[in-house]
Structure 1
């Protein structure tokens, strides 16, 4: 009989919408990946890496790099990063992190698909993201929201994480909001006004260096970026190979299919993960998948 897949983190996310693992990385691992990340951040702030998230723009498509005032660096596995990408090959494909993703998606390692590996950093001026779900537009009707939340693609097809290399108090979530329609207050504050107001029940996910949070990407959440506090957090996701179609727009909108043919994984696990994403990209070749959100 095959070994039963652990389900603790799956159950945590099913119940609350997120799960936190303290001390996921050792202090030595934190130091290693922090050094690698700082080199990429400097490259991006210097204008020598085009794939960035520019302050003032929340969702893709982002403009090409024109300012050091950025809040994210994309494409940490991109072949154009050369040797700078190798530490991210390692952390993204480690058995340790894939075991958690497998627990969350209730699938063995070989059923996982490569998706995204990015970085979230502090901008040079303060910036806040609106309340949102990653793949459901705020303007949908209550009936549409319920239908989209009930879709397997919204609830069990992907595992998304923030892995902190510095102290991180940026992620704000509404626990348990991933599997229900918004309350009247939530609907009002996610559609009207500046969309950043305090919502009843919100909490800040407080991460220390080496902590990781996995969360359902349709939990109501936002980010608050304090330019005075250094932030370097690895931000990525994995997919369930059986539900790739439901993940296609959210993943392919980031342009990963453009460089995937040139991508040469450094680890066996990463090669396995790549093969799944290649199949998904081929299925949607020539298809304009559009963008999940606007803003």
Structure 2
């Protein structure tokens, strides 16, 4: 039976700003995703480090148009796109904004400061935060010890908070973060490999540095409605309707492997660190 979000799950997302789906990927799917990710030459070449305010580094690679590689096939899978379609406001087609492979390595993986994704995307000229969403797939286990994501439950209802640079990252106003923490619950989002997290573009979230002996890798894909174009930064993928593929496409495509660099638009380190 095809995966489908229930009405209760949709209501939970709307109320809390996030939704966890245990076991969204099975063991075989996760194993393939991890194997390809750690061997992917294009990912290795196009990954860059961002320093937190303590100088620790988090590595990531970010790209825009999803292809026929393992990441693109997952991002465009019917179960993923149909779920996003149920959670986003509006009726226009679902589009892929960007995906990123987060690589928080043992002992050296840095923290992410408190922020909202829409704190960044507002400056790209997107007008409607309810038409933007991020989806995280845990490739390895995410625990408090290795710096799992933390969210402030229901903080998406606050609206956009002002953001500024902290180290090489953009962070939310700590005054408003502290206000939120006085009345809202802090949740540590611990995930098993294959678990999935949907989170609203305005929910406040962060993660600690990875001081453990285990890596924390995740794939995060951001989606947008075609009815929500960016008025400042040109990002054609974010207003191009997705071509969905069957859920089992990871295995129907025998050649599905890593990213083909000559067909993929990666975010450059210069643009990532531009102030």
Same fold by TM-score greater than 0.5: yes
What is the match of residue 74 of structure 1? 62
What is the Cα deviation at residue 72 of structure 1?
1.3
> Which residue in 1 is equivalent to 2:23?
23
Equivalent of residue 223 in structure 1, options 181, 187, 207: 207
**Residue segments in structure 1 that go unaligned for 5+ positions in a row:** 59-68, 80-84, 138-144, 184-188, 262-266, 271-290
Question: Which residue of structure 2 lines up, in the alignment, with residue 176 of structure 1?
Answer: 154
2:51 is paired with a residue whose SS is: coil
More strand per residue = 2
Instruction: Please state which structure has a larger fraction of its residues in helix.
Output: 1
User: Which whole-Å deviations, capped at 9, do the CAs of 1:113-149 have from their partners, x for residues lacking one?
Assistant: 1211111111461411111112237xxxxxxx9xx9x
Matched residue SS, 2:202: coil
2:244 corresponds to 1:269: yes
Give the superposed CA RMSD. 4.2
Cα–Cα, structure 1 residues 39 and 175, in superposed 2: closer, same or farther, change >3 Å?
same
Quote how far apart the aligned CAs of 1:71 are.
2.1
1:294 CA drift (Å): 7.9
Residue 91 of structure 2 corresponds to residue 103 of structure 1: no
Q: For residues 80-120 of structure 1, what are the alpha-carbon distances to aligned partners after superposition, in whole Å with 9 as ceiling and x for unaligned?
A: xxxxx611121111111111111102567x71112111111
TM-score, normalisation: structure 2? 0.65
Q: Does 1:159 align with 2:147?
A: no
For 1:280, the equivalent position in structure 2 comes to none
Alignment partners' CA distance in 2, 1:114 and 1:44: 19
Q: 1:106 to 1:218 in 2, by over 3 A?
A: closer
Residue correspondences, number: 221
Query: 1:92 maps to what in 2?
Result: 75
Deviation of 1:16 (Å): 0.3
Greater relative CO, 1 or 2 (CA 8 Å, sep 6+) = 2
CA distance in 1, matches of 2:274, 2:150: 20
Q: Indicate which of 41, 50, 54 corresponds to 2:49.
A: 54
- TM (normalized to structure 1)? 0.61
Distance 1:157 1:292 in 2: 23
User: Do residues 235 (structure 1) and 220 (structure 2) align?
Assistant: yes
The alpha-carbon distance between structure 1 residues 152 and 75, as it changes in their structure 2 partners (threshold 3 A), is closer
C-alpha separation between the residues in 1 aligned to 2:61 and 2:133? 20
Deviation per CA, 1:1-50: give whole Å up to 9, x if none.
xxxx964443222100100100000111111111111112x6555xxx23
